[in-house]
Amino acid sequence: MCRYAEYGPYKSHYACFDCRKAFKRTNEEEWPAHLQPGDDGQVPAPCPQCGRPMADLGLDFKPPPRKDVEHWEVVEFLFRHGVGYHSCGCGGPGYRPSRWKDVRAFLESHRCRSAGEALLARIERKPRRASLARTGR
């Protein structure tokens, strides 16, 4: 069973990329009225230090040390490209790179393919001899 469903409530991790700090916040329902989401659906999560909006990185985010600038840059880059640390708690969000040298391979392995690209990959994997035997060549 998922630990987040069974044992709750858990606080989500929010990060300020400018300050390189992370904070846990309770669920939106538990926030004071002045911090409730606006009409546009945006959830204001100001950084306690600088006041800028923070990024919701999910329940499984473990912030890197503040001095590890490269790791923080990679986390921000991945977040800006839709990669977070959200999961149901069963197995965690999976591997996330912490160095720039690993980002390209990670993004390539997690890239979404169109239906056409998936069909082309399936066709390319089929053995060539089977199709030649049917045509009589």
State the pLDDT at residue 18: 94
State the pLDDT at residue 88: 66
State the pLDDT at residue 11: 79
Rounded distance, CA 45 to CA 25, Å?
A: 9
| Higher-scoring residue by pLDDT: 25, 101 | 101
Residue 1 has pLDDT above 80, yes or no: no
Rounded distance, CA 137 to CA 129, Å?
A: 10
State the pLDDT at residue 4: 62
For the segment 38-73, what is each residue's pLDDT rounded down to a tens digit? Answer: 666 666 678 888 888 888 888 888 999 999 999 999
- The DSSP letter of residue 104 is H
Kindly list the domain boundaries of the chain, sorted by start residue: 3-135
User: Mean pLDDT over residues 6-21, rounded?
Assistant: 83
In contact, 61 and 83? CB cutoff 8 Å: no
In contact, 55 and 14? CB cutoff 8 Å: yes
The alpha-helical segments, DSSP class H, found in the chain are 3-6, 69-80, 100-109, 115-125, 128-135
For the segment 108-129, what is each residue's pLDDT rounded down to a tens digit? Answer: 887 767 777 777 877 877 766 5
